[in-house]
Amino acid sequence: MPPRLEAPHSNRRDIENLKKLSTYLFEYKGRVLVALGCLVISKLAVVAVPLVLKRIVDTLDTGPGLDRIDSEDVLMIALGFVAAYGALRITSSLFNELRDSIFSRVRYRAMHQLSTRVLTHLHRLSLSFHLERRTGSISKDLSRGTSSLSTISNLLVFNIVPTAAEFLLVAGILLSGYGWSYTAVVTITVALYVAFTLKYSGWRMQFRHEMNRLDSLANGRAVDSLLNYETVKYFNNETLEVTQYDQHMSDWSDAGVKSQITMSTLNFVQSAIVAIGVTLILMLAARDVAAATITIGDIVLINALMLQLFVPLNFLGVVYRGLQYALADMDLVLKLLEREPEIKDAEDAVDIEVKEPRIEFKDVHFAYLPERPILKGVSFTVEPGTKVAVVGPSGAGKSTLSRLLFRFYDVDSGAIHIDGHDLRDISQGSLRRVLGVVPQDTVMFNESIRYNLAYAEAEVSQELIENAARRANLADFIETLPEGYQTVVGERGLKLSGGEKQRMAIARVMIKDPPIIIFDEATSSLDTQTEQQILDSLNAVAQRATSLVIAHRLSTVVDADEILVLDAGQIVEQGTHDGLLAAGGLYATLWNLQQGEEAV
């Protein structure tokens, strides 16, 4: 297990979670049973090895009074037992590997199913969940679903269950062949070893956690000071940075010493428990050999069983730590799967087929936080085939209209209708099929230009893609690229400029060709010249659809059929461009300010 920076949380439901885990592992019940069968055969072979050693020793321990023929017979018998010893070793290894190979299908299939289910659930959760979480945290949730299941199944099937099976076999051999005293010593020794290891390992992990925390702080301080090299030099603070780093490393070394001392203590006490247990067993065996109730071979058998039993127990601390982290990760994943999305389809939700693409906001109230209302009784209608623009100062609630239309959130009161249907009565999938958007922040997948353009319609022809690229004033740019439409745009489209990404978004919505289109600050990343070049394309798209344009630049909406001026969550003005200018209100003020900025 790699070092972890935080201790595993303790408020878990381990037994319940293991039951849920078993549903993934037992999809292939036959393979599980065969793997367990291989485990039993392997452990029987392992435990049988000391029994053969006993027979070898007893056979060779024949005394000096044999003639040559008897010696040859003894040698042949001993060689036979040696061959059996080798065969048992090979059998143990073979069935161990068979167990791993057979169980691999179960393990990887379970990992596949759980990770797919987690990703599906993450996509089902509402936008508010994803806005609250960091991308790295969500990615960790996904990886935890895979790694924790793999770790738990590995530890259970390959460590804990085999060790328990071996202990039971050893206890059974000692009890049946040598009486309760041997069995009692072994059982008490193992119980003390396990109890001490688990208790002490759990306690000493605090020092390892502290080491990891301090190491992270020290590395963070070093990297931060190097990334801000110029600032450090500006203020002549090299000594300050090194001093803070030195303090973290000093604390780290102190924690490291404590960690090593406690590790050495753990190892010593474990060895002492094993040594005392083996000594007591050998004392019992020496007594019985002296009494002629057992042979020298029995001593070899008992000693080999004890040492063989404690080999896997040496890793108990590591196994315990790994299991604790894996159970904690599994608990977080299963709690994530239990989280219900805030926005769900109604049981009787219908798939909408838009005949009249009319949008109606009816006295809509909405707030992301109760104490901070965003929309306060907004009402307006966008008639089929018309273009309505919403403008206003930053923070007025313009982009919230788009999020409500896509039903990323539900209104607090009032209603939003499309073609006469309340959005809450429509399935989310069918709703988003009839909506298109050119967003303010266009993010691309780390795939080819063609993949990103055809994202809404995966089976679209190359001809339609190229036609959309031309209409969005994008074709000339693509043709200059060595790989053309197969050019990979980089993570989140980092290889493209802001204007190129927005033109990609415009071309993408042209390919989708929905009956309703929302332009959410669709030209915010374009310079004035490029903006004018694609306004005709935007207008061509809007002519074939009902359009809601959310805009900051008023120059892009002067031809709108109606302009709504939103301020502090309320519509304070509405009308045409000329009418609003003549009214001399907020719209006219914003227009004059922007015209003045452009003149400068």
Query: Which domain range does residue 529 map to?
Result: 346-434+514-600
| CA proximity to 280, closest of 188, 163, 197 | 188
Residue 138 counted as domain residue: yes
In this structure, are 502 and 537 located in the same domain? no
Mean per-residue pLDDT over the chain, rounded: 80
In this structure, are 492 and 575 located in the same domain? no
The model's pTM? 0.69
Residue 2 counted as domain residue: no
> Residue written as tokens 């009565």?
425
Residue 7 counted as domain residue: no
In this structure, are 135 and 261 located in the same domain? yes
Residue 535 counted as domain residue: yes
Residue 1 counted as domain residue: no
pLDDT tens digit string along 339-351? Answer: 888 888 888 888 8
In this structure, are 331 and 353 located in the same domain? no
Residue 9 counted as domain residue: no
Please say if the pLDDT value at position 599 is more than 70. no
Domain total of the chain: 3
3-state secondary structure (DSSP) of residue 563: strand
Please say if the pLDDT value at position 140 is more than 80. no
What percentage of residues in the chain have a pLDDT greater than 70? 87
**Cα 263 to Cα 255: distance, rounded to the nearest angstrom:** 12
Assign 560 a pLDDT band (cuts: 50, 70, 90): confident
Please say if the pLDDT value at position 600 is more than 50. no
Assign 3 a pLDDT band (cuts: 50, 70, 90): very low
User: Could you give the angle at which helices 29-60 and 161-178 cross, rounded to 10 degrees?
Assistant: 40
Q: Write 256-259 long-range contacts (CB < 8 A, 24+).
A: 256/211, 258/207, 259/204, 259/207, 259/208, 259/211
**Cα 25 to Cα 32: distance, rounded to the nearest angstrom:** 8
In order of 195, 276, 322, the CA distances from 266 in angstroms are: 12, 15, 17
pLDDT tens digit string along 230-250? Answer: 888 888 888 888 888 888 888
**Cα 486 to Cα 474: distance, rounded to the nearest angstrom:** 14
In this structure, are 47 and 23 located in the same domain? yes
Assign 165 a pLDDT band (cuts: 50, 70, 90): confident
Average pLDDT over residues 250-272: 86
Q: Where are the alpha helices (DSSP H) in 228-295?
A: 229-234, 238-290
Q: Of the candidates 338, 371, 388, which is a domain's last residue?
A: 338
Q: Where is 181: in which H helix or E strand?
A: helix 180-227
Highest mean pLDDT among 193-202, 486-495, 537-546: 193-202
pLDDT tens digit string along 185-235? Answer: 888 988 898 888 888 877 877 887 788 778 878 888 888 888 888 888 888
**Cα 277 to Cα 189: distance, rounded to the nearest angstrom:** 6
Please say if the pLDDT value at position 2 is more than 50. no
CATH number for the domain harbouring residue 160: 1.20.1560.10
Q: Which residues lie below 8 Å from residue 375, measured CB to CB, with a gap of 6+?
A: 364, 365, 366, 367, 397, 400, 401, 404, 411, 569
> Residue written as tokens 């071996």?
166
In order of 127, 464, 474, 475, 476, the CA distances from 471 in angstroms are: 32, 11, 8, 8, 11
Please say if the pLDDT value at position 394 is more than 90. no
Assign 528 a pLDDT band (cuts: 50, 70, 90): low
In this structure, are 562 and 589 located in the same domain? yes
More confident residue, 14 or 526: 14
Q: Of the candidates 513, 547, 575, which is a domain's last residue?
A: 513
Please say if the pLDDT value at position 74 is more than 60. no
Per-residue tokens: 37: 């069968």
Q: What is the pLDDT of residue 520?
A: 83
Assign 306 a pLDDT band (cuts: 50, 70, 90): confident
Please say if the pLDDT value at position 537 is more than 70. no
Q: What is the pLDDT of residue 404?
A: 92
Residue 384 counted as domain residue: yes
CATH number for the domain harbouring residue 562: 3.40.50.300
| CA proximity to 362, closest of 433, 418, 435 | 418
In this structure, are 334 and 352 located in the same domain? no
Q: Where is 360: in which H helix or E strand?
A: strand 359-369
Please say if the pLDDT value at position 77 is more than 70. no
Q: What is the pLDDT of residue 65?
A: 44
In this structure, are 168 and 205 located in the same domain? yes
In this structure, are 225 and 373 located in the same domain? no
Residue 519 counted as domain residue: yes
Q: Of the candidates 338, 365, 395, which is a domain's last residue?
A: 338
In this structure, are 506 and 526 located in the same domain? no
**Cα 192 to Cα 316: distance, rounded to the nearest angstrom:** 13
In this structure, are 195 and 292 located in the same domain? yes
**Cα 366 to Cα 491: distance, rounded to the nearest angstrom:** 34
Residue type, 341: P
In this structure, are 504 and 460 located in the same domain? yes
